[in-house]
Amino acid sequence: MSDLSRLRWLCRRGMKELDLVLSSYLDLCYETASPGERQSFRSLLDMQDPDLYALIIGRSKAQDQSMKQFIEQLRSLNKQR
């Protein structure tokens, strides 16, 4: 399985809202993302759905500055859609 196929599989979550956010990023931004952004994305994919959802909707805050910036990028990407 290629790396992109594996990531696409990991974007499939138990919550449709998360599927949409993660898949949108993978389709629109991942190919041109910096190595740091790619790592942040992979870190999000390792999270449990409730924790990930809380981060994306702003109910909880990321501890790491680079993750905070990445979450903001995800939010703005999905506001454009």
What single string gives the DSSP state of each residue in 35-71? HHHHHHHHHHHTS-HHHHHHHHHTSS--SSHHHHHHH
What's the confidence (pLDDT) of residue 56? 93
What's the confidence (pLDDT) of residue 53? 95
51-78 tens-digit pLDDT: 999 999 999 999 899 999 999 999 998 8
* pTM score of the predicted model: 0.90
pLDDT band per the 50, 70, 90 thresholds, residue 81: low
Q: Six-digit token pair at 7?
A: 């990531």
- In the chain, the domains with their CATH numbers are 3-80 (1.10.150.250)
pLDDT band per the 50, 70, 90 thresholds, residue 2: confident
